[in-house]
Amino acid sequence: MYLITVFGNLLIILTTISDSHLHTPMYFFLSNLSFVDIYFTSTTIPKMLLNIQTQSKVITYEGCISQMYFALFFGVLDDLLLTVMAYDHYVAICHPLHYMVIMHPRLCVLLVLLYWIISALHSLLHSLMLLRLSFCAELGILHYFCEISQMFQLACSDTFLNDILMYCADGLFGVGPFAGMLYSYSKIMSTIHGISSTQGKYKAFSTCVSHLSVVFLFYCTVLGGYISSTATENSHSSSAASVMYTVVIPMLNPFIYSLRNKDIKEALKKLLGKESMKGPIVMKRKKFP
């Protein structure tokens, strides 16, 4: 599953770079999402595979803090990229004549850069707040990676400020982007409803299906993991939900975006066709009578 995730998302990135027809804001955000998914999965899965291979479940304190930092970093960045992709669909469907003016390439680059900075600062703040806590000598984390709420439960010192920061961050990066996506898709549905032809409605809605599927899977699993981790002390259900949004969804993203997207499929055929043409050419001599 990890290899499928890495190579599938790498193939999406190479496809969007190689085909000039895909040099648009939508595919720019998609390639960034694929890049983030690779690193998001690589934050937790290689360590888990190493634990399975060596039959050792030990991680150092520094390694645990680093793993938590990058899991938060790429998780929030994933969420923000899904939000800006929803806005991109909104502009493309609701304001098609002004699309290239609103979604200017320079604006797209600045938005992605801003999201990287916000995610890095958010993760850094959580990590610095965690460093002020004291822990016992030996700890057992009932999870397959150093998840932030699990770390708070194991701390020996007061975690009141950490809990407040976590709830504020959950509201800012959880409820905020989700509300933005709901607003974008409410406007999209209103615009699609006003289209007279059935073919036009289908074409407009089909451009959003892939993104809606990813958003639905991502938020359902994140919400499931959040509820199970706060409502119960048993973290097995939380771990199962975490596996979904850190392993399964990044693996499914390339399939979801490629199988329902004609442009991606045609670009993939061109890319794979070019690779096959790079092989040796064998010339046969024709016999004349």
* pLDDT grade for 234, boundaries at 50, 70 and 90: low
Confidence of residue 39 (pLDDT cuts 50, 70, 90): very high
3-state secondary structure 213-272: HHHHHHHHHHHHHHHHHHHCCCCHHHHHHHHHHHHHHHHHHHHHHHHCCHHHHHHHHHHH
**Over the stretch 144-195, which tens digit does the pLDDT of each residue have?**
888 888 888 888 888 889 989 988 998 888 889 999 999 999 999 998 888 8
**For the segment 76-112, what is each residue's pLDDT rounded down to a tens digit?**
999 999 999 999 999 999 998 999 899 999 999 999 9
State whether residue 289 is helix, strand or coil.
coil
Annotate 107-146 with DSSP letters as a single string.
Answer: HHHHHHHHHHHHHHHHHHHHHHHHHTS-B-SS---SSSS-
CA distance 180 to 199: 28
Among 106-110, 123-127, 188-192, 278-282, name the one with the lowest average pLDDT. 278-282
Residue spans per domain, the chain = 2-135+142-266
**The pair of three-digit structure tokens given for residue 129, joined into one six-digit string:** 């707040």
Superfamily name and number for 2-135+142-266: Rhodopsin 7-helix transmembrane proteins (1.20.1070.10)
| Contact criterion met (CB below 8 Å) for 121 and 72 | no
d(CA 200, CA 208) in angstroms, rounded, equals 13
pTM of the predicted structure, to 2 decimals: 0.87
Residue 29 CB-half CA count within 13 A: 26
The SS3 assignment for 103 reads: coil
> Contact at 8 Å (CB) between 85 and 29?
yes
- The CA distances from residue 285 to 282, 288, in Å, are 10, 10
